[in-house]
Chains A and B, each alone.
Chain A
């Protein structure tokens, strides 16, 4: 067991866990940040996606020892008022069905828009292909990312 200082959603935390513990389980079991979801544990489904220094990263494979000192953002810290363009678009189009994978979808999509303000449809489809949705809400997710990128449309 070791102590780690973490910076998550602009807040400082200290945890005492085994150094190999993936960030996902530190978030969920130690810090009660339950929005980040467990799906596969091998980085294949994207349900556990967080931002690590702004990049979309699978937290299920990421040992906590590797992220001390990094800026971590989870779904809980994406916006203060649930008003990130991606969150607004998700609501406007009523994207989720069961909703379980959506935190990961939202974190991947918001990271894409940080990097590419106006992605094409094909760029969206490519960027989002690491996130599985068994309800297959893919059509709506695709439209919502494009809608979020188009601020005028989103606010109308």
Chain B
């Protein structure tokens, strides 16, 4: 197949192609990648399009039904609803006539076909709308030809083109003519005030499948003659497999094979339960080169790091050392957070079918492209041999960015040359690695004349440091003498992205510290924050006005400072993954423990594409964040996780859940994401409320340990 490189001057052609379908109707092939990338690779222009050529597309049938293929993986963040809404809006069709299907991985046609970092909507905002608008222009043109009147006198609404005399014709009747037209290059997008779909709450596209139990998740995937695999992994990080005895396992009826691969043992059977049962019967011997750290050893090393000098500098402005020397007093505190497993409700799993001709991969993955590359490298296969189909995911939270289990499934299938579904037990899922890293922050600030004059943040982490750009967030810009330094220790525990990477704990440390500073200064924390924002005099990555607005909004919503008796509030605000968030947590103390009663939240994410989905993300992020700050912790002993299932790993439950109230700031700004933003601020808002209620300052997560407050 011949390929050519796209350049700007052929964008018109690369952006959208049309073809008639044998079944009737038209296919608008949308290359939305080319709208945002000058380097997109295209098929030869003369090549006939079919379903496999373009996966991102709009299909209009002659009966007017519209199918929109949603490019990005769905992990519960709602893109399978919200991304098609962008196309449907500009195409001007009735939402009820739209069918949404998940597109397969196709790097030729898409860019950034992944779920992570709350970026899907932000990056697709203009390209996807443009695709809808282009198709609409062609339908208008087709109507003008049909009626032999100027296009300018026509308008569209809900899947029809109208004449000024009220006569209308459906898109379905126009598609055959439209398909033969030149694709327009410059289309005008709607103004936000004219939106009829964007900004109106739309339900989850998969709702009926979910409430009737249809097999839409990866773990539900099944083909004829498929085998089921479970994997025995080292009990502790850093251990090596010495030998194993599977003779007992092989006696179980239905066990097909037990073999070693990559320091693991694969147990393959003809159903899941047999694979799980046989896995338990494998006798394996493991060893390590030396002592492996547990939580207490790691804690000690991180404290030594914080006290030492071996930091890498991420950001410096002016001179924190000199400012501290001149300060009337300095405040210095350490904040600590543990490792966290992701605990997606759907345990990790993947389907692989490796044959001489091809490699089929199907399952729940946030990074289909990267995982395909890893499988290609591991098996020594060509990328073009490998197909990836994305299923709906039972949660991602960052765990499914790491496709280790995809490679494992492929290796097992490759060995047996049979279709195999690899399934983790919950214990595998919780102890198999890739955790939010354990991190500690030391923050030091100087105060002079009732002003914060310096701010120095030091990070010590296990196997991970914050991104350089995190160091440019608030309070950079508000405090002139500012410095961020990072350091890490390294060991064999695997770490990775966890919902709201870095900010999930950085926000806790900083937002708790600001509360402490306000108490020191004897100023209301919200007044102090607004004052600091008003003092910003440098170019910052955040807008002072939008940041201040969410803070004022939440203070109003929560009736800040005027709670009923025995209720106490805590405040926190964060510029969070490109979205502005301010939160107030309201608690009561019962038997010396916090009971969260209400949470107020104000959000500025620009245009709210789908208010229903947006509310779900905002409220869910807050409750998830509360749960993890109250209870979440994975400790280690000699490299081995101390707990492995929900009997001893506590997740928040409904009877512990407060009511969350959220306000969205009305805005015409381009939208930003919502999957992560509301989680980071909430832990500090809770800690600050606990301080207000009890005078106890919690600087270590989780807040509750052994049924008591966890005071460091």
Contacts and interface: CB of A to CB of B under 8 A. Distances in A.
Interface string B424-444: 011000000000000000000
Interface in A106-144: 106, 124-126, 128-142
| Tier of interface size on chain A | 35 or more
A145 B613 CA distance: 19
Contacts of B220: 28, 34
A35 B654 contact: no
Interface of A is mostly: loop
A139 B623 contact: yes
Contact of A126 (B210, B392, B622, B655): B655
Contact of B271 (A25, A74, A94, A101): A25
A151 interface: no
Contacts of B344: 98, 100, 134
Contact of A90 (B211, B214, B273, B620): B211
A38 B429 CA distance: 12
A97 B203 CA distance: 10
Interface string A19-44: 01110010011101111111111101
Given A18-B253, A37-B346, A125 B654 contact: yes
A134 B395 contact: yes
Give the interface centre of A124, A131, A136 by most chain B CB atoms within 10 Å. Answer: A136
Nearest to A101: B345
A103 B392 CA distance: 15
Give the interface centre of A20, A102, A138 by most chain B CB atoms within 10 Å. Answer: A138
Interface in B624-645: 624, 627, 645
A137 B395 CA distance: 12
A75 interface: yes
B367 interface: no
B345 A82 contact: no
Contacts of A78: 212
B246 interface: no
A40 B76 CA distance: 20
A44 B645 contact: yes
B213 interface: yes
B651 interface: yes
A39 B219 CA distance: 11
Interface string B653-681: 11111011000000000000000000000
A87 interface: yes
Contacts, number: 191
A100 B395 contact: yes
Nearest to B344: A134
A54 interface: no
Nearest to B77: A97
A65 to B, nearest CB: 13
A129 B210 contact: no
A41 B271 contact: no
A99 B392 contact: yes
B685 to A, nearest CB: 16
Given A94-B204, A135-B395, A129 B655 contact: yes
A36 B213 contact: yes
B211 A87 contact: yes
Give the interface centre of B345, B396, B617 by most chain A CB atoms within 10 Å. Answer: B345
Contacts of A132: 345, 646, 651, 653
A141 B397 contact: no
Contact of B204 (A25, A47, A99): A99
A30 B616 contact: no
Nearest to A24: B273
Interface string A53-79: 000000000000000000000111010
Given A32-B222, A98-B75, A136-B657, A103 B213 contact: yes
B652 interface: yes
B212 A82 contact: yes
Contacts of B214: 34-35
Nearest to A86: B211
Nearest to B226: A29
Contact of A134 (B208, B425, B651): B651
Nearest to A145: B654
Interface string A83-99: 00001001100101111
Given A101-B345, A101-B394, A134-B343, 4 more contacts: A34-B214, A35-B215, A45-B646, A94-B207
29 contacts: A20-B277, A21-B273, A25-B273, A35-B212, A37-B345, A37-B394, A41-B426, A45-B345, A78-B212, A82-B211, A90-B210, A90-B211, A94-B201, A94-B204, A94-B207, A98-B75, A98-B345, A100-B395, A103-B213, A129-B653, A129-B655, A132-B345, A136-B622, A136-B623, A136-B657, A137-B620, A138-B654, A139-B657, A140-B619
Interface of B: 75-78, 201, 203-204, 206-208, 210-215, 217, 219-220, 222, 228, 253, 271-274, 276-277, 343-347, 392-397, 423, 425-426, 612-613, 616-617, 619-624, 627, 645-647, 651-657, 659-660
Interface of A: 1, 17-18, 20-22, 25, 28-30, 32-42, 44-45, 47, 74-76, 78, 82, 87, 90-91, 94, 96-103, 106, 124-126, 128-142
Q: Give the 7 A-B residue pairs with the shortest CB-CB distance, closest first.
A: A35-B213, A98-B76, A100-B394, A75-B213, A136-B623, A44-B646, A34-B215
